[in-house]
Homo-oligomer: A and B are copies of this chain.
């Protein structure tokens, strides 16, 4: 029943805990110690106990945690018991990949509508979803009960789409474009930028394979 605020780091670990717990439950494991679960997930057991404590989730001293209870509580905290209806803007390759990707629906995030500004795409069906014109975002988002928006357009359009989502009272956005988005404080944006991920990878590779020391060899401009 602790009342520490829940840190971003803690929230980020919850899906990992959930994933491992689902496996344990599948194997009919009833109880688990913080040490065992932490090892499975790859975190320190004190960190795990602290995370659970922050969520108000308790175990039994000398015994451990009940797997089903953990599963239920973490699911509840993450909102897994609720269905989150997703709108995707951008019916290009990425948008199409998203609507064709079962994983999102399976984990409780069905894509219910796809928007594009290209008239030739409007009206067509992709992954079982009808493509609507972006001009109709406000009405449809409200009508369909959308509560999460995904921006999968070209970078130039991102800000105006974000504005439209905000206008439509969406407060959770996942952005696949690179630039920073200006949104009101109550709107949460998470960014997925594949090229940046690859750049970070290449940084490590370059550093680890570099002939060590020195200011570095200048390459062709």
Write the residues of chain A forming the contact surface with B, with a CB cutoff of 8 angstroms.
6, 11-12, 14-16, 19, 41-42, 56, 72, 76-82, 84, 86, 93-94, 96-98, 100-101, 103-104, 106-107, 109, 147-148, 171-174, 178-180, 186, 188, 190, 192-209, 215-216, 218-221
Contact = CB atoms under 8 A, between A and B. Distances in A.
B147 A205 contact: yes
Nearest to A101: B93
B15 A196 contact: yes
A198 B103 CA distance: 11
Nearest to A103: B195
Nearest to A206: B79
B179 A82 contact: no
Number of copies of chain A assembled together: 2
A17 B167 CA distance: 30
Nearest to A204: B188
A135 B130 CA distance: 38
Given A94-B97, A109-B202, A188-B204, 15 more contacts: A56-B215, A76-B216, A76-B219, A77-B206, A79-B203, A93-B96, A93-B97, A104-B195, A147-B202, A172-B201, A172-B202, A172-B204, A173-B201, A174-B198, A190-B197
A218 B84 CA distance: 17
Given A172-B204, A178-B19, A180-B42, A107 B192 contact: no
B220 A201 contact: no
Given A215-B56, A220-B81, A199 B14 contact: yes
A200 B190 contact: yes
